[in-house]
């Protein structure tokens, strides 16, 4: 089971890679996330790596896999993933006989180029953040913030995979049609209400055959792991175009992923009960199981940080805008998303990406977007240097960080995902 705690989670474990033992490290030996890398400045093919402290281990050079194709690794079953995790843990722990050989397969993270951690064939964005759905719904439908189907079915739409980039992505401000409330017709130009969306990305591992749904009891066996996702949004384009078929140009210009996939196995110590609030409908049978009720939810702390161009020029660090936890934010679990996505016979493939949707907490300081944090632009935020923001401006760098902490377990991190807005071109 992906949520089973075993020897690889032992809080006493230390690594011979000393940076992995430092307090606050995102990548201790209890984590072991996967990504793709190559030496900086080279034109070599990207290959599979595992983050350990401030290093990355070339898993093929270490003799652990015989491929450089991450999607081949994703297609393996849960038992093969667990065996690989065990081998990594045993080889990287203090006193391992592998130290001499594996030291030659290590690269400093500061000396490598990272890319999107796998080939993404299809991208589905869900809407699991109930507080986000309520807050946004109140801005447009004060009498009915949530649509009648929200608490019964995981809402989602199919997004664009081709514009997904890795952390550090720089993209031009999108252009498109907008329509002011008092205008007789729409106008064309750069978006004036550019926003971020704080999300988790779930990476599909082993797929399923067309016409063969995945039962919720087996759903997590088909998820490889979790990454951070910023699904940038042009709110003014979105308001004009989204009816009747949903997001289009407001979403497909850029989405940014962190370079590391934290495996479902690594998250085992940070699971929690999935419980619906009193009075809410319980999930239909195909979305319900004892295991999902007992430990279907994830406890991941998420933060949003902003550095403006003026701050960067003055040498001032980014400032934190919000902080929240996924257990308070998500109305549906990862397993439920898999079960629902495939219940009609849809076939998933290794490397497919699910976005969680914006994950906001119940209070405004836990907002997962500026649309919520500034109440649709009506309440600008003031930064420490005196600048104000309602939505993102050119030159802004927006970063998201994620980590898991719990008594009796070693802290693990998801790393960081950042992106910078450029002027429209």
Residue 143 has a pLDDT of 86
CATH number corresponding to 7-115? 2.30.30.230
| Cα gap 125→250, rounded to integer Å | 13
Q: Which of the four pLDDT bands, split at 50, 70 and 90, describes residue 221?
A: very high
The pLDDT assigned to 353 comes to 98
Phi-psi region of 408 (alpha: psi -120 to 50; beta: other; left: phi over 0): left
Listed range (176-180, 202-206, 245-249, 312-316) with the worst mean pLDDT: 245-249
Bridge-based pairing of strands 255-257 and 164-166 is: parallel
- Taking the mean position of all CA atoms in its chain, how far away is CA 87? 26
Q: Collapsing DSSP states into helix, strand and coil, what is residue 20? A: helix
- Are 250 and 241 in contact by the 8 Å Cβ rule? The answer is yes
pLDDT digits (tens, 9 = 90+) for 385-398: 999 999 999 999 99
Residue 295 backbone class (left: φ over 0; alpha: ψ -120 to 50; beta: rest): alpha
**pLDDT tens string 361-376:** 999 999 999 999 999 9
| Farthest CA pair distance, the chain | 74
Residues 264 and 261: their CA atoms lie apart, in Å, by 9
Distance spanning both ends of the chain, measured CA to CA: 49
3-state secondary structure of 170: strand
Interatomic CA distance for residues 164 and 185, integer angstroms: 32
pLDDT at 2 over 80: no
pLDDT over 60 at 302, yes or no:
yes
Q: Which two tokens stand for residue 421?
A: 């807005």
Res 27: pLDDT = 98
- Tell me if residue 231 falls in helix, strand or coil: coil
| Cis peptide bond upstream of 39, omega within 30 | no
Six token digits for residue 14: 């230390």
User: In 75-99, which positions are buried (b, 16+ CB within 10 angstroms) versus exposed (e)?
Assistant: bbebeebbebbebbbebbbeeeebe
pLDDT of residue 140: 80
Asked if 7-115 and 123-422 have one fold, the answer is no
Catalytic residues: 132
Query: Residue 291: which residues within 8 A CB-CB, separation 6 or more?
Result: 1, 3, 217, 335
More confident call, 170 vs 140 = 170
Instruction: Look at residue 341 in the predicted model and tell me its pLDDT.
Output: 98
Rounded to 5°, angle at Cα 376 from 414 and 394: 65
The model's confidence at residue 1, banded by pLDDT at 50, 70 and 90, is low
Nearest Cα residue to 224 out of 371, 415, 352: 352
For residue 253, count CB atoms less than 10 angstroms from its CB and return exposed for 0-12, middle for 13-18, buried for 19 or more. buried
Work out the mean pLDDT of the chain and round it to a whole number.
Answer: 96
Structure token pair of residue 10: 């032992």
Encoded tokens for 81? 């993933």
CA distances for 163 relative to 32, 124, 184, 395, angstroms? 27, 13, 33, 20
Where b means 16+ CB within 10 Å and e means fewer, 316-333 reads eebeebbebbbbbbbbbb
What average pLDDT does the segment 243-268 reach?
96
What is the share, in percent, of the chain residues with pLDDT greater than 70? 100
- Averaged pLDDT, 145-150: 93
User: Quick check: 141 pLDDT over 90?
Assistant: no
Sequence spans of domains, the chain: 7-115, 123-422
| Alpha carbons 355 and 365: distance in angstroms, whole number | 22
Q: Which CATH architecture has domain 123-422?
A: Alpha-Beta Complex (3.90)
pTM, whole model, 2 decimals?
A: 0.97
Mean pLDDT, rounded, for 223-234:
98
Q: What mean pLDDT do residues 235-252 have? A: 93
Say what the pLDDT of residue 251 is: 96
């Amino acid at each position: 089971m992906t949520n089973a705690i075993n020897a690889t989670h032992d809080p006493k474990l230390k690594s011979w890679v000393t940076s992995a033992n430092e307090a606050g490290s995102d990548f201790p030996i209890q984590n072991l996330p996967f990504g793709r890398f190559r030496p900086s400045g080279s034109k070599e093919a990207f290959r599979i790596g595992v983050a350990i402290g401030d290093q990355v281990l070339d898993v093929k050079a270490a003799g652990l896999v015989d491929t450089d194709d991450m999607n081949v690794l994703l297609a393996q079953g849960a038992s093969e993933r667990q065996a690989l995790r065990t081998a990594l843990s045993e080889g990287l722990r203090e006193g391992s006989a592998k130290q001499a050989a594996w030291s030659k397969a290590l690269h400093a993270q500061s000396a490598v180029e990272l890319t999107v951690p796998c080939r993404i064939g299809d991208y589905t964005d869900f809407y699991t953040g109930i507080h986000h759905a309520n807050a946004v719904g109140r801005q447009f439908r004060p009498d009915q913030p949530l649509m009648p189907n929200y608490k019964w079915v995981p809402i989602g739409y199919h997004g664009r995979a081709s514009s997904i980039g890795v952390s550090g992505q720089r993209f031009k401000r999108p252009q498109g049609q907008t329509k002011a409330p008092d205008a007789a017709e729409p106008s064309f130009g750069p978006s004036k209400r550019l926003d971020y969306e704080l999300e988790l990305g779930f990476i599909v591992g082993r797929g399923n055959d067309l016409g063969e749904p995945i039962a919720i009891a087996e759903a997590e066996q088909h998820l490889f792991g979790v990454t951070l996702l910023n699904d940038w949004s042009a709110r003014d384009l979105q308001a004009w175009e989204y009816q009747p078929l949903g997001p289009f140009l407001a979403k497909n210009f850029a989405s940014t992923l962190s370079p590391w996939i934290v495996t479902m196995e690594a998250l085992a110590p940070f699971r929690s009960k999935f419980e619906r609030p009193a009075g809410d409908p319980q999930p239909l049978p195909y979305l319900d199981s004892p295991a999902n009720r007992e430990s279907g939810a994830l406890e991941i702390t998420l933060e949003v940080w902003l550095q403006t161009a003026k701050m960067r020029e003055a040498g001032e660090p980014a400032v934190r805008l919000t902080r929240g936890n996924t257990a308070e934010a998500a109305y549906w679990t990862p397993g439920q998303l898999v079960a629902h996505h495939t219940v009609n016979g849809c076939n998933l493939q290794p490397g497919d990406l699910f976005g969680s949707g914006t994950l906001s907490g119940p209070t405004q300081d836990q907002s997962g977007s500026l649309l919520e944090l500034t109440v649709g632009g009506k309440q600008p935020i003031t930064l420490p240097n005196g600048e104000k923001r309602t939505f993102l401006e050119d030159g802004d760098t927006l970063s998201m960080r994620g980590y898991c902490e719990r008594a009796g377990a070693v802290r693990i991190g998801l790393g960081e995902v950042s992106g910078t807005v450029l002027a429209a071109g």
